A and B are shown apart, each in its own frame.
Chain A
Amino acid sequence: MTARVLIVDDHAPFRSLARRLLVAGGFQVVGEAADGAGALSAVRDLAPDVVLLDVQLPDLDGFAVAEALARRQPVPIVVLVSSRALLDYGHRVDASTARGFITKSELSGETLLRVIDGPGRPVPCSG
């Protein structure tokens, strides 16, 4: 069964390309949201399996959204993305409830799948 993905990012060109990349990679993209509040209501309405979540959003940051989602039932798998590198966030990603982290420029169906299937560790990347 294909995983159902929600893309959360305030940059529309990124959402559009991410959608096409993930669809090409075999995912089903069920929706998009441009900010934290939109993400929370979209998760309630669409119940996605995976949330691809930008760290820097205009309202809440990605860590806070992930925290809120972890209290939901069912809990979606959260994968954080950012145009910054993993090391720019220190240990915040490890300490968060997210499954992992992908630098935006590395995003593809393959990298997302690797994070989802991985042992819950972020994918190391050159950043």
Chain B
Amino acid sequence: MQRLRPRTRTAVASAGAAAGVAAAGALVWGGYRVPADLLAPTLVLDLAVGWSFIGVGLVAWTRRPDSRTGVLMVVLGFAWFARFAVAVDTRTGFVVGVLLGSVHLSVLVHLLATFPAGRVQDRAERVLVTVGYLLSAPLDAVFLFALGAQRQLGDGPPPNGLVIAPSNGEFDPAGIDLAVQGVVVVLFLSLLGVVFRRWRSAGPAQRRSLTPGAVGAALIVVTILVERTAILLLIPPAVGVALAWSAQVVLVVWPLALLLGLLRSQLDRSAVSRLIVELGAGLPVPERLERALADTLHDPSLELAYWLPERGAFVDPAGAPVRVEPVRGRALTYLERDGERIAVIVHDPVLAGEPELVAAVAAGAGLAVENERLHAEVRSQLREVQASRARIVEAADGARRRVERDLHDGAQQRLVTVALALRLAHTQLDTADSGELGALLDEAGAELAGALDELRELARGIYPVLLTDAGLGPALHSLAERCPVPAVVGTVPDRRWADAVEQTCYFVVSEALANAAKHAGAGQVVVDVREDGDGLRVQVSDDGAGGADPGGSGLRGLADRVATLGGELSVRSPRGSGTRVIATVPCA
């Protein structure tokens, strides 16, 4: 709903005042026979109800332009006065009065079913609101034009001019009335159900705004229900009249309850100053800022997550990564500082209707949030360091396990074979001829040579001695020559770097080549090493299947290793388009 302009507001207020005066005039001078003892209370109460809805509705419309509740209240006020047309003793007055006679009830249903947004939000609400409107003017039109309703004084407070009179005596008007009242009772019971369901599923902040209106609504609906059931149960009309009066009394006060609900969180602006005072007192515990915001916005379920731009992720106050995404029943408000996003508040959706309050809280807490964000960032880095330390230890253990297994499966088996061959040769020294013995010794020799090859390969895998002796360039060329996939190493700057830098770059290339050969089914690999700025950049690209998982133990281990030097590892591996591993390592 757009903001209410002052001129419109004045016009509506004047029209409301005039409508009240006109309604009073119709009742007093319209020619309608109002019992003398009922005139004064009728006038006072009806004017109070109508003006209360129009006046308070205008305030609500001004203060909460985002909600349609204010508009509905104003409409209800006018509909309330429109009923009085029936008091003008002419055919036109009668027709208009009957057609508009129960529109206020339809608007009441609309208002209750959609409070506090004033907008239909689901199917149940749409059904209720539609049935509510069908039961007023359209049904009254049927009574008026099809069933021949005629003016006659009915029961209940004035103006009550509609009585269905049998036009040909073939139907029972009491039966139709009973059926209509039955539908009205079902409608109002469903309405109570909808209001109760909304109240029950609401978060605490939403309840604060729902409760005053809901309590008043329950009172009105229950009164109307008892009044209507009184007719259904054929309770004496006098009781029905009394109930109708009490419903009106509640109706006078109810708009204020609705307004209170709409403005309740706005009334709590003083909480923002309390928040600022509390923030000034210092916040030693990470969760305290979150709790202070939760208290200020009356939403204990509120959660605060800090944005870490470098990681492109949100973390909680303890630094643990959290997923922030729109979920049903939760709303997100992003906090910014100097145009940069710093945090997000995940809160009760009702607060979304209070953007100014949330903005005030955000502004008040801005510096503290920025402060806490930095703390959260440090905690998050600490967690990451702890996790990577654990992974590095695990990777080292895994490497030792692999060495043991490689020794056992390879060289050790071959040496066992050598020992057995020699023993067999020894036992056959006296019996076998020299040819047989020679064959046995050849067998032993071949196994020994194999064992030596495997030990050399294993030793090289544990640590490449060429790297220490000759540097990165020769070590990478040697690595490429031994790679089962054709690998090209570009020009490597001919200089030495710190041992840790050279080793890290070597193992990045070694792992990437092994992956290209073992997993990617690559046809060619290109290794590129260059110095840029203050660091060394190593890139290994293959033309294989892609789809490598950067979270897999091999690449994860490399990333940890690169990170210990303050560097960064990036892996681009779109499925079907090869893999590119890039390590940038700063070197002093």
Q: Cβ of A44 < 8 Å from any Cβ of B?
A: no
Determine the chain B residues whose CB is within 8 A of the CB of A13 once the complex forms. Answer: 417, 443, 447
CA of A51 to CA of B543, assembled, Å:
50
Of the listed stretches B10-18, B149-157, B423-431, chain A binds B423-431
Chain A interface size band reads 10 to 19
Q: Cβ of B415 < 8 Å from any Cβ of A?
A: yes
- The answer, among B413, B421, B427, for a CB contact under 8 Å with A11, is B413
Question: Which residue of chain A has the shortest Cβ distance to B432 in the bound complex?
Answer: A24
- The answer, among B408, B417, B423, B443, for a CB contact under 8 Å with A84, is B408
Chain B: minimal CB distance from A58 (Å): 11
- The answer, among A56, A84, A105, for a CB contact under 8 Å with B420, is A105
Determine the chain B residues whose CB is within 8 A of the CB of A104 once the complex forms. Answer: 416, 419-420
* Contact of A17 with B408 in the complex, beta carbons under 8 Å: no
Of residues 1 to 56 in A, which have CB atoms within 8 Å of B's CB atoms? 11, 13-14, 17-18, 20-21, 24-25, 56
Question: Which residue of chain B has the shortest Cβ distance to A108 in the bound complex?
Answer: B423
Q: Cβ of A107 < 8 Å from any Cβ of B?
A: yes
Q: Cβ of B412 < 8 Å from any Cβ of A?
A: yes
* Contact of A18 with B420 in the complex, beta carbons under 8 Å: yes
* Contact of A21 with B413 in the complex, beta carbons under 8 Å: no
* Contact of A24 with B424 in the complex, beta carbons under 8 Å: yes
* Contact of B428 with A105 in the complex, beta carbons under 8 Å: no
* Contact of A105 with B419 in the complex, beta carbons under 8 Å: yes
CA of A25 to CA of B424, assembled, Å:
10
Determine the chain B residues whose CB is within 8 A of the CB of A24 once the complex forms. Answer: 424, 427-428
Of residues 88 to 109 in A, which have CB atoms within 8 Å of B's CB atoms? 104-105, 107-108
Chain B: minimal CB distance from A73 (Å): 33
Determine the chain B residues whose CB is within 8 A of the CB of A11 once the complex forms. Answer: 413, 417
Determine the chain B residues whose CB is within 8 A of the CB of A18 once the complex forms. Answer: 420
Q: When each residue 106-127 of chain A gets 1 if its CB lies under 8 Å from chain B and 0 otherwise, what string results?
A: 0110000000000000000000
* Contact of A17 with B428 in the complex, beta carbons under 8 Å: no
Determine the chain A residues whose CB is within 8 A of the CB of B447 once the complex forms. Answer: 13
Determine the chain B residues whose CB is within 8 A of the CB of A17 once the complex forms. Answer: 417, 420-421, 424, 443
Chain B: minimal CB distance from A8 (Å): 15
* Contact of B428 with A83 in the complex, beta carbons under 8 Å: no
Question: Which residue of chain B has the shortest Cβ distance to A11 in the bound complex?
Answer: B413
CA of A105 to CA of B447, assembled, Å:
14
Chain B interface size band reads 10 to 19
Chain B: minimal CB distance from A26 (Å): 11
CA of A11 to CA of B417, assembled, Å:
10
Determine the chain A residues whose CB is within 8 A of the CB of B423 once the complex forms. Answer: 21, 107-108
Q: When each residue 278-316 of chain B gets 1 if its CB lies under 8 Å from chain A and 0 otherwise, what string results?
A: 000000000000000000000000000000000000000
* Contact of A83 with B408 in the complex, beta carbons under 8 Å: yes
* Contact of A107 with B420 in the complex, beta carbons under 8 Å: yes
Q: When each residue 43-81 of chain A gets 1 if its CB lies under 8 Å from chain B and 0 otherwise, what string results?
A: 000000000000010000000000000000000000000
Determine the chain A residues whose CB is within 8 A of the CB of B420 once the complex forms. Answer: 14, 17-18, 21, 104-105, 107
Question: Which residue of chain A has the shortest Cβ distance to B420 in the bound complex?
Answer: A17
Determine the chain B residues whose CB is within 8 A of the CB of A56 once the complex forms. Answer: 408
Q: Which residue among B415, B420, B424, B428 has the maximum number of chain A CB atoms within 10 Å of its CB?
A: B420
Chain A: minimal CB distance from B312 (Å): 45
CA of A83 to CA of B443, assembled, Å:
18
* Contact of B424 with A20 in the complex, beta carbons under 8 Å: yes
* Contact of B424 with A21 in the complex, beta carbons under 8 Å: yes
CA of A80 to CA of B317, assembled, Å:
58
CA of A13 to CA of B547, assembled, Å:
40
Q: Which residue among A17, A24, A104, A108 has the maximum number of chain B CB atoms within 10 Å of its CB?
A: A17
- The answer, among A83, A84, A105, A108, for a CB contact under 8 Å with B427, is A108
Determine the chain A residues whose CB is within 8 A of the CB of B419 once the complex forms. Answer: 104-105
Chain B: minimal CB distance from A57 (Å): 12
Of residues 456 to 497 in B, which have CB atoms within 8 Å of A's CB atoms? none
CA of A43 to CA of B428, assembled, Å:
30
* Contact of B427 with A14 in the complex, beta carbons under 8 Å: no
Chain B: minimal CB distance from A102 (Å): 11
- The answer, among B408, B415, B424, B443, for a CB contact under 8 Å with A105, is B415
CA of A14 to CA of B413, assembled, Å:
8
* Contact of B427 with A21 in the complex, beta carbons under 8 Å: yes
Determine the chain B residues whose CB is within 8 A of the CB of A107 once the complex forms. Answer: 420, 423
CA of A11 to CA of B419, assembled, Å:
15
Chain A: minimal CB distance from B59 (Å): 83
- The answer, among A20, A25, A83, A108, for a CB contact under 8 Å with B416, is A83
Question: Which residue of chain A has the shortest Cβ distance to B415 in the bound complex?
Answer: A105
Determine the chain A residues whose CB is within 8 A of the CB of B415 once the complex forms. Answer: 105
Determine the chain B residues whose CB is within 8 A of the CB of A14 once the complex forms. Answer: 413, 416-417, 420
Chain B: minimal CB distance from A56 (Å): 8
CA of A56 to CA of B412, assembled, Å:
13
- The answer, among A20, A83, A108, for a CB contact under 8 Å with B412, is A83
Chain B: minimal CB distance from A96 (Å): 20
Determine the chain A residues whose CB is within 8 A of the CB of B412 once the complex forms. Answer: 83-84
CA of A107 to CA of B424, assembled, Å:
10
CA of A84 to CA of B417, assembled, Å:
13
Determine the chain B residues whose CB is within 8 A of the CB of A25 once the complex forms. Answer: 427
CA of A13 to CA of B412, assembled, Å:
13
Chain A: minimal CB distance from B410 (Å): 10
Determine the chain A residues whose CB is within 8 A of the CB of B421 once the complex forms. Answer: 17
Question: Which residue of chain A has the shortest Cβ distance to B423 in the bound complex?
Answer: A108
CB<8 Å pairs between A and B, sample of 17: A13-B443, A14-B413, A17-B417, A17-B421, A17-B424, A18-B420, A20-B424, A21-B423, A21-B424, A21-B427, A25-B427, A83-B408, A83-B413, A84-B408, A104-B416, A105-B419, A107-B423
5 A-B pairs besides A11-B417, A83-B408 with CB distance below 8 A are: A13-B447, A14-B413, A14-B416, A17-B417, A18-B420
The 7 closest A-B pairs by CB, nearest first: A105-B419, A17-B420, A104-B416, A13-B417, A83-B416, A83-B412, A105-B416
